[in-house]
Amino acid sequence: DTEVTQTPKHLVMGMTNKKSLKCEQHMGHRAMYWYKQKAKKPPELMFVYSYEKLSINESVPSRFSPECPNSSLLNLHLHALQPEDSALYLCASSQVQGGYGYTFGSGTRLTVV
């Protein structure tokens, strides 16, 4: 299995809702990442988990809450989002701590209404 699987593919949520994005990989990668991508822009790093521990938080607002239950799973919990948070949310993983050999998922297209 050489994929990073993200669910759901599309999500529409209201500003008072709570929802979660899920990411799964079975490649034995020990680093996992959340990125946010706005239209026509490169991905922006949000969080990095290394060996299931949060190693980088790029000053992301607390309405985004990451969780890494085990080495294969990564969640992003969403609460009280704003319309400007609408974007493509990408999960990625890599074999070693660092940018070598990143594998991205197909993303979750999030729309906040």
Q: Under the rule (CB under 8 A), what is the footprint of other proteins?
A: 4, 6, 31, 33, 40-43, 45, 48, 50, 55-56, 88, 90, 92, 96-107, 109
Asked whether 68 and 77 are in contact (CB, 8 A), the reply is no
Give whichever of 16 and 100 is closer to other proteins, judged by the CB atom.
100
Tell me the closest approach of the beta carbon of residue 70 to other proteins, in angstroms.
Answer: 19
User: What residues form DSSP beta bridges with 4?
Assistant: 25
Contact 108, 94 (CB under 8 A): no
Q: How far apart are CA 17 and CA 36, in angstroms?
A: 19
Beta carbon of residue 19, minimum distance to other proteins (angstroms, whole number): 19
Provide, rounded to whole angstroms, the least separation between the CB of residue 47 and other proteins: 10
13 burial type by CB count under 10 A (0-12 exposed, 13-18 middle, 19+ buried): middle
> Of 6 and 66, which CB lies nearer to other proteins in the complex structure?
6
Kindly state the smallest distance separating residue 16's Cβ from other proteins, in Å.
27
